[in-house]
Structure 1
Amino acid sequence: MIKPLVMALGLGMSLGALADTQVKIDAAKTGPVINKNIYGQFAEHLGRGIYEGLWVGPDSTIPNTKGWRNDVVGALKELQVPLIRWPGGCFADEYHWREGIGPREQRPARVNTNWGGVIEDNAVGTHEFFDLVEMLGAEAYVNGNLGTGTPQEMAEWLEYMTSDSKSTLAELRRKNGRDKPFRVHYFAIGNEAWGCGGNMTPEFYTHLYKQYASFLKTPKDNTPVMIASGGHTEDTSWADHLTANVKPNWSLRMDAVSFHYYTLPTGDWVKKGAATGFPESEWMSTMVNTLKMDQFIINNKKVMDKNDPEKKVGFYVDEWGTWYDVTGDDDPGFLYQQNSMRDAIVAALNFNIFHKHADRVHMSIIAQMVNVLQAMILTDKEKMILTPTYHVFKMYKPFQDATSLQIELKNVARYKLGKSSIPAVSATAARAKDGKIYIALVNANPNQAEKVSVNLAGVAMNSVKGEILTAAAMDAHNTFAAPENVKPAPFAANAANGKLAIDVPAKSVIVVAVE
């Protein structure tokens, strides 16, 4: 167990003796706002991601509200979850919304062909999803069915959710228990059209997007941001083709293009690597692969800047995170994996990358919220644990809707292993809505502390206070027997002559406010 840790550097300590990596922040030079939706969450009908993990039903002995687990909902509230994406994912392109409304006992049961071949009883549908969204005070991201649906089905779902008229569909919603319309903030036309969403080319999908989008009409006060299914990894053709060929007008909108990238230790989808018990070589390869996100975004921004120089179209990384071989003997289709200190570092590194590109990246959504891939929470029937990734999300809360500050790193220490080498230190800074300046530092070196000096121009810095997340082992993680094995501890450091010198421990994440 990590004991509470408070680090304080005395005023008389020599900066020169400590300084290595230099972080310069200029409080007077502000950048774009870091959209709160960069901290978005994903709940797909997949394994125990919704059923058991979130939804237990109103008749369960597990304490719940309207069928949603009180313990999990309470923990998610602590993260200030800004939005939830639902119902998929690959599941979305086989989901027919009418099967998820009305009395639950009358809803049809289907085989979930994408994830484990289990029976989907449609207990969680449109009304239940919006119950969860409203409990969390989040925004709703609904993914429409392009793959097996029709323009009519998609248009009617939007009407069912958003219309305040006396139309048959609006009256059906009222009959099913909801008088006022649901607020749909984001709506996507399909998912991964290049793969499970239909194995399409960018050209073919673009034609379909324009066809479907033309019929998606909503009231002016309940108009969602329209999202096109984009590319993945190094492929920029989707962002390029969509932004070059979809020209919005009075009957057609495209506000954002999505992008997906998962971090695999090995880069091999057949043998991805273990979630725990891995060698240092897989720590390094995980870091190398996750840092590719930066270049992928840069490449997509280049083609988007060419076609959309006014930056009207957002670039939404609406699926990202680590993907390992399934933990234990669980159903491979459930994508259940343990979550360790390595995942915490991956999360923080990606947040810092998204902050850097906040001019285009207005949303990112980790996959997924509970029990699936890089989850915030793991459950076992009535038991629940918080993961290291959960703690990083909570530590980074002040960055939601904060104004980014110009930051420059020099003389960055390197972490090396074999032929691989990465920057050991990553950093970001912003002025939060509470008026304070927050700084996040990440040390991706699993073996040694890195010496960092911070110079905050334009602000008299006396000290910093916040939290640190670290652990002794690379694969340190929480279990149901030891749920607090990895958790944040207090962190504080004093400045000398307006400069801050910090020994950032191995494999650690630090988030502090400037005092």
Structure 2
Amino acid sequence: MAKLYVNEKKVQGHINPEIYGHFSEHLGRCIYEGLYVGEDSPIPNVKGMRTDVVEALKEMKVPVLRWPGGCFADEYHWKDGIGPKENRKKMINTHWGGVVEDNSFGTHEFFELCSQLGCKTYVNGNVGSGTVQEMSEWVEYITFDGVSPMADLRKENGHEKPWKIDYFGVGNENWGCGGNMTPEYYGNLYRRYQTYVRSYDNEKPIRKVCCGANVADYFWTEGVLNTCFAQPQPGNDKDRGFMDMLSLHYYVHPEGWEIKGSATEFDEKVWYKSLNKALYMEELINRHGAIMDKYDPEKRIGMAVDEWGCWFNVEPGTNPGFLYQQNTMRDALVAGLTLDIFNKHCDRVKMACLAQIVNVLQSVILTEGEKMLLTPTYHVFHMYRAHQDAELVESYIADNKTAEGSDGEYEVPKLHESVSIDKDGILTLTLNNLSVTDSEKVETTFAECNPTEVTATILTQDMNAHNTFEDPERVKEETFDNFTVTDRGLSFTIPPCSIVSFRIK
């Protein structure tokens, strides 16, 4: 029996809603067909945005959306995506499938989508193939409320008032597809480009995201921060190296980058290998965070894990450049324990974006024509949504066994948890059972809380289980009532391969 102790009186940090963010790139069927179908589509839409997808994402409570990439961002020239659609330039999407990009989804469409979702905006600028002027003018076009060439152009294109950019990424993966740069070279470019990402409205400042490392490239983190903090300017920039956030990218591909493996056909060994690699996220946060602490001991700079998730082989018969993959209970457990890790490191992790939101990699929604389904990962985000904007509280599991079958190099604990308390005093407890075969009895004890109202939901199925358009509800969130309220806690048994979310008053 495992013993879960919760000290709800000891707050350990604030969980930014943006930790539950998402990522949309001009890649495969993410934007086109997934989010945007156009106003003339027979698929129900509002100003071109799929009604069914938007409503599902609102229910999941998407806090922030990143766009237009990804690798696509550093070849994207924003002026190609404004004005009458029939006049917009067409281009080849060289990174993703070599298909024609007609730019019918551009700046206006992105901000319309975020307006419908009610979420914050995260725009990624072009450093790899773009100019300082181009980036500066894009920010002016979007945010300036006054008389200027770019503000006038926005008005000519039908939007009188400016939008708000909440976050702006100055380049993407500039160590790779964004220009194959060295950290010092990028650091100097970052200092230059970010200068012209101006906040025209001081009451709505743009938070700037600097391109951080790929996985365990600690050399990149050190080099960029050393460059950005060298010879600082007076004022706030002296303390934060001209940035508000530093990014980190990490994907789980258990069979290695070249092989990756099937999204649906895997055995228990690969299951545990996948979860072990997902747990590696904690080491990455700790080690990159330690470097950040040297330059930013007060943790004023947030870590933005703005690309994360499972990356497997594409589904058979689909375009390999579209990165369309299925989504099983393995993806669900990877999502659950990763979100728990982000929660537990909310003192440094301030934003994260699952890659990607629809039809690409570990998406929360799949579409096929007018059909739509929710993936197991969707249900995890839905179960975890109450953690958003709550306070992390102390919790730990005593007598936590190693999951049987996970041994040697790919050992994983059986259980993984996080707990928060919201402004109304309601506790959210999320618990993952990483074992494929074994349930576990859990005794939960709170410091002072005597539960009076408890509700819970569960996501559980066989490890390979996934939803299809023929069987869209094989894996779904269901009510969980197999628990007992004790004097100062809860007693329950969590099934194997499952995630449970409690709301406790």
Pairing 1:217–2:205 present: no
- Shift of residue 388, structure 1, vs aligned partner: 0.4
1:140 aligns with 2:121: yes
1:497 shift after superposition? 2.7
1:234 matched residue in structure 2: 216
Q: Is the 8 A contact 1:81 1:138 kept in 2?
A: yes
The residue number in structure 2 matching 1:36 is 17
Secondary structure in 2 matching 1:105 = helix
Is residue 88 of structure 1 aligned with residue 69 of structure 2? yes
SS in 2 for 1:362: strand
Alignment of 1:53 with 2:43, yes or no, is no
The aligned counterpart of 2:437 is 447
| Corresponding residue SS for 2:480 | strand
Does structure 2 retain, via aligned residues, the 8 Å contact 1:407–1:428?
A: yes
What SS does the corresponding residue of 2:261 show, helix, strand or coil?
Answer: coil
Write the deviation string for residues 208-266 of structure 1: whole angstroms up to 9, x where unpaired. 10111122223123321000000021122333333333246469631110000000121
Q: CA deviation at 1:132?
A: 0.1
Q: Which of 423, 430, 439 in structure 2 is aligned with 1:433?
A: 423
1:117 has 2:98 as partner = yes
What secondary structure is seen at the aligned counterpart in 2 of 1:426? strand
Q: Unaligned regions of 5+ residues in structure 2, if any?
A: none
Q: What amino acid is aligned across from residue 136 of structure 1 in structure 2?
A: L
Residues 1:465 and 2:447 aligned together: no
Letter in 2 for 1:265: P
Contact 1:439 1:511 in 2 (8 A): yes
Q: 1:240 & 1:312 partners in 2: Cα distance?
A: 17
Paired residues for 1:46-445 under 5 Å = 46-219=27-200, 220-247=202-229, 249=233, 253-266=242-255, 268-417=256-405, 418-419=407-408, 420-445=410-435
Distance 2:306 2:222 in 1: 18
What is the CA-CA distance between 1:462 and the residue it aligns to?
4.8
Shift of 1:435: 2.4
**Higher normalized contact order (CA 8 Å, seq sep 6+, divided by chain length):** 1
- What amino acid is aligned across from residue 7 of structure 2 in structure 1? D
String of CA shifts for 1:447-499, please: whole Å, max 9, x gaps.
Answer: 1102222111121135632100001x211011101111110111132222323
Equivalent in the alignment of 1:480:
469
Q: Please give the per-residue CA displacement for 1:190-217, whole angstroms capped at 9, x wherever unaligned.
A: 0011111111111111011011112222
AA aligned opposite 1:176: N
Cα separation, 2, equivalents of 1:242 and 1:51: 35
Q: Secondary structure at the match of 1:326?
A: coil
Q: Is the 8 A contact 1:38 1:363 kept in 2?
A: yes
Give the equivalent residue in structure 1 for 2:8: 27
Whether the aligned pair in 1 keeps the contact of 2:18 and 2:350 (CA below 8 Å) is yes
Give the letter for the 2:78 counterpart. W
Does the CA contact (< 8 Å) of 2:2 and 2:399 recur in 1?
A: yes
Give the CA deviation at 1:307. Answer: 1.4
Q: Distance in 2 between matches of 1:239 and 1:462?
A: 47
Distance 1:215 1:499, change over 3 A: closer
**C-alpha distance in 2 between matches for 1:499 and 1:399:** 19
Whether the aligned pair in 1 keeps the contact of 2:198 and 2:206 (CA below 8 Å) is no
Where structure 1 has 5 or more consecutive residues not aligned to the other structure, the ranges are: 1-19
SS of alignment partner, residue 142 of structure 2: helix
Describe the SS at the equivalent of 2:411.
strand
- Tell me if structure 2 keeps the 8 A contact 1:160–1:170: yes
1:230 is matched by which residue type in structure 2? G
Does structure 1 conserve the Cα–Cα contact (< 8 Å) formed by 2:450 and 2:489?
no
Confirm or deny: 8 A CA contact 1:259 1:316 kept in the other structure: yes
TM-superposed CA distance for 1:158, in Å, is 0.4
Displacement after TM superposition at 1:354 (Å)? 0.2
Give the fraction of aligned pairs with identical amino acids, expressed as a percent.
Answer: 47
- In the aligned structure 2, how far is the partner of 1:150 from the partner of 1:395? 42
**Distance apart, 1:305 and its partner CA:** 1.0
Quick one: which amino acid aligns to residue 208 of structure 2? Answer: M
RMSD: 1.3
TM-score (norm 2): 0.96
Secondary structure class of the residue paired with 1:155: helix
What's 1:502 paired with?
A: 492
What is the CA–CA distance in structure 1 between the aligned matches of 2:399 and 2:183, rounded to whole Å?
42
1:374-412 deviations in Å (ceiling 9; x for gaps):
001000011000000000000101000000101122211
User: Deviation of residue 434 (structure 1)?
Assistant: 3.4
Contact 2:449 2:489 in 1 (8 A): no
Hey, what does 1:13 align to over in structure 2? none
Corresponding residue for residue 14 of structure 1: none
- Give me the whole-angstrom Cα distance separating, in 2, the residues matched to 1:389 and 1:285: 19
Q: Please state how far the C-alpha of 1:433 moved relative to its aligned partner.
A: 3.2
What does the per-residue CA deviation read over 1:414-472, in whole Å, with 9 as the maximum and x for residues that have no partner? Answer: 1132533210100110102332011111001011102222111121135632100001x
Single out whichever of 497-506 and 175-184 deviates more from structure 2: 497-506
Equivalent position SS for 1:398: helix
